[in-house]
Every structure is written in structure tokens, then in C-alpha cells.
Amino acid sequence: MSQFKPGDVVVRKSYGGDIFFKIKELKDTPGQKEAVLTGMDVRLVVDAPISDLEKKDAPSILLYRHQCIQNQAKSLKNIFARRELDRKSRDLFRNGEELDVDFFEVPGKVLHLDGDEEYLEKCLSTYKQLGVPAFGFAIPEKEQPERVVDLVREYNPDILVLTGHDAFKKGTRDFSSLENYKHSSYFIDAVKRVRQLVPGRDDLVIFAGACQSHYEGILCAGANFASSPQRVLIHAYDPVFIVERLAYTSINESVSVRDIIATTITGIDGVGGIETRGRYRIGYPRSPY
């Protein structure tokens, strides 16, 4: 086991090296040595035998991270371009010129609970880049149902995000049974508890789920958006890009489900939802203080 250590970046040979992972933990199991792996850009935690791992060298890691940064930068560029078009479509412009209106913007406020502290930090950094006001807490998936209601009361968000890690059991054929999922039942329970406090889906917008989560169950519990319709892996930033669109769409408009899913990296196989009103408001006038 000495050739691997926590923090090493590896791929699984049996899967063709399709996903880069960090080793979170090394452990001895009966008959073999295993590693607990976390995806570098997908919300996935898996156990893998040491014999199936291949350590990646620095140039490969650098190239992988560069590609991830490029994908994110492209998404951010598209978001800011869309926002500019949205602003010009409102009553703040005439003939392409900005009116002399001293307005201010109030985007939707986000409360994000994540079972993975590293992913949470990435999401909070991206919210900041996008100008989305957000509060975040690293809370294990199984503890989220117990803590989410108090946090919603304290922060009174417009948008609630419940994420972390999930997966269905190896060899699963019955994708309808919650017993075959690692954390879906916790996401569902958390959503149900919040909906007892805030029943209206336009009063509090909820995104919940992670990789391979029980999509239908989470939506039925009261979420507006959830993962994963085709039980696929989802990208770490998919919830952020959905939330940004909600936070910057006017409360007078409904967000097109097709359009909002198109902003994600994973796409329609990984995330889905129902028609929802935006959470963005314009205020007037701006205070000089």
C-alpha cells in the first residue's frame, strides 16, 4: 500500500481511467486492500481495490485541471453574456442605451448544505464570482434532515441547495427502491421537513441530490430541481449553475426547465426539475449611504 497515500490523484484502470479521483482514505478489507476515492470534479465517492488504481503524474493532473478550468470559464462567460441580454430586455435600456435610473439589484439568496467540505468551498467560490449571495455549511448527508430546518429559519433563503455524495448499490436493478441508494433517503427527508415549514415551491426553491440520486423521490418530496434522472454522475458545479439562473431570473418570470438544464455541465441525464419562478428583484432608488 506504500505506493499510494491520501491525497494522491488516481484513476481506475477497470473503467478506462475516465474520471480523476483523489484518495481520501486507505483501508484493509478482508482479502484485499482498498482506497476510498472522491471525484475531483464529479460528486462521487467510491471504494476501489488498490490493484485497480493508477497514479497520475503531475503533467496529466495539470492538463486535467486546466480542462476543468476552461469548461468552468466558458460557462461563466455564457452566464455573464446572458445577464447582459437580460438587463437590456428590461425597462433599464432604450435604443441600446442605459437609462439614467438609479436602481439596485437583489438576486436570490442561497443556503447551501453540502456533505463534502471541499466541494462546498468550490461552490461558494463560484457563487462569489457570479455575484450570488450564499451561505454554506459542510454537513454530512445523514445529518442534513436534523439541521436544515433551523438553518432555513435562521437564514431565510430564497433558494436551498442540499448536496453531497450518493450512489446506488453495486448490482442494483431496482432503481425505484430507496433501500438501494446510499444517501437519497436523507435528501428526501430533508426536503420533506423543509416543506412542512415552507410549503410553496415559489416561496423557497429547492435543489437536492447528488450523483445517481433518486430523482423522482426527491421531486415528489417537494424539491423544484433534483438529480439524477438517468442515475448518472453529476458535475460538482451543476447545482451552482442552476441556482445562478434562478437567482438572476425575475420573480415575474418562470424559468424554462429546458433552458436552465442547458446551463449545466452534465445536462438532462444528470439534472431535471419543474417550472419555477425566478428569485431576482430590482429595487429603486439606490441609497447614497
Q: Are residues 48 and 186 in the same domain?
A: no
- pLDDT in the model for residue 96: 56
Predicted TM-score (pTM) of the model is 0.85
Q: Which structural domain range is residue 163 located in?
A: 101-283
- pLDDT in the model for residue 34: 87
Residues contacting 215, CB < 8 A, separation 6+: 209, 226, 227, 228, 229, 231, 272
| DSSP code per residue over the chain | -TT--TT-EEEEGGGTT-S-EEEEEEEEETTEEEEEEEESSBS-EEEEEGGGEEEPPHHHHHHHHHHHHHHHHHHHHHHHHHHHHHHHHTTTEETTEE-S---EEEPPPEEEEES-HHHHHHHHHHHHHTT--EEEEE--GGGHHHHHHHHHHHH--SEEEEE----BPTT---TT-GGGBSSHHHHHHHHHHHHHH---TTTSEEEE--TT--HHHHHHHT-SEES-TT----BTTHHHHHHHHHHTSBTTSEEPHHHHHHTSSS-TTT-EE--EE--BEEESSPP--
Q: What is the mean pLDDT of residues 157-175?
A: 87
In a domain, 71, yes or no: no
- pLDDT in the model for residue 98: 60
Q: Are residues 185 and 271 in the same domain?
A: yes
- Residue 171's pLDDT band, with cuts at 50, 70 and 90, is confident
Q: Do the beta carbons of residue 189 and residue 145 sit within 8 Å?
A: yes
What is the per-residue pLDDT across 182-192, written as a single tens digit (0 to 9) for each?
A: 899 999 999 99
- pLDDT in the model for residue 67: 79
Q: Are residues 122 and 188 in the same domain?
A: yes
In a domain, 147, yes or no: yes
- Residue 289's pLDDT band, with cuts at 50, 70 and 90, is confident
In a domain, 2, yes or no: no
Q: Are residues 260 and 206 in the same domain?
A: yes
Q: What is the mean pLDDT of residues 114-137?
A: 94
Q: What is the mean pLDDT of residues 283-288?
A: 81
What is the CATH classification number for the domain harbouring 243?
A: 3.40.50.2300
User: Between the CA of residue 273 and those of 220, 244, 263, what are the distances in Å?
Assistant: 11, 15, 13
Q: Are residues 142 and 30 in the same domain?
A: no
- pLDDT in the model for residue 97: 58
Q: Are residues 110 and 14 in the same domain?
A: no
Q: What is the mean pLDDT of residues 267-287?
A: 89
In a domain, 231, yes or no: yes
What is the per-residue pLDDT across 24-82, written as a single tens digit (0 to 9) for each?
A: 888 887 777 888 888 888 887 888 888 889 998 888 888 888 777 777 777 778 887 88
Q: What is the mean pLDDT of residues 3-32?
A: 85
Q: Are residues 41 and 152 in the same domain?
A: no
Q: What is the mean pLDDT of residues 256-275?
A: 88
What is the per-residue pLDDT across 242-252, written as a single tens digit (0 to 9) for each?
A: 999 999 999 99
In a domain, 240, yes or no: yes
Number of domains in the chain: 2
- pLDDT in the model for residue 186: 97
Q: Are residues 31 and 156 in the same domain?
A: no
- Residue 1's pLDDT band, with cuts at 50, 70 and 90, is very low
In a domain, 63, yes or no: no
- pLDDT in the model for residue 100: 57
Residue 99 has pLDDT above 70, yes or no: no
Q: What is the mean pLDDT of residues 202-227?
A: 95
Q: Are residues 114 and 212 in the same domain?
A: yes
In a domain, 167, yes or no: yes
Task: Count Cα atoms within 13 angstroms, Cβ side, for 12.
Answer: 17
- Residue 254's pLDDT band, with cuts at 50, 70 and 90, is very high
